[in-house]
Amino acid sequence: MAERAESSEPEATGLSVRDARVLEFEAQWWRHAGAKEEAIRETFGLSVARYYQVLNVVIDSPAALRHDPMLVGRLLRARDARTAARASRTFARPTTRDTIANEPNE
């Protein structure tokens, strides 16, 4: 990714340096030894939850799309797939004991 076009530099796309680093990390995180979560803490000094909050804001920005459209598109599709999977989950039916315990007494 070092051979980006000049227009893809963070300053030219309106992306902050931190946001560009987050996108670069997402593009290359597999190069880090160890778990991604550990690499997030070491690279950014953020908790994993905070990192993903930042990432979600970044990929929603038009500047990120200008910076790396292929990566941002992939990340958006992955997020949409996770959201759809969560939405389609069904909750288990309560057991008979739970149903009886929660029924009002007549």
Q: Which long-range contacts (CB under 8 A, 24 or more apart) does 95-102 make?
A: none
Are 20 and 10 a contacting pair, CB within 8 Å? yes
pLDDT of residue 28: 84
CA distance linking residue 69 with residue 71, whole number of Å: 6
Tell me the pLDDT tens digit for each residue of 3-59.
344 344 556 778 999 999 999 999 986 665 568 888 899 999 999 999 999 999 999
- The per-residue pLDDT for 80 is 95
pLDDT tens digit string along 46-69? Answer: 999 999 999 999 999 999 999 999
Distance CA 45, CA 40 (A): 7
Pairwise CA distance, residues 13 & 19, whole Å: 11
pLDDT at 101: 58
User: pLDDT tier at 2 (50, 70, 90 boundaries)?
Assistant: very low
For residue 100, count CB atoms less than 10 angstroms from its CB and return exposed for 0-12, middle for 13-18, buried for 19 or more: exposed
| Per-residue pLDDT at 98 | 57
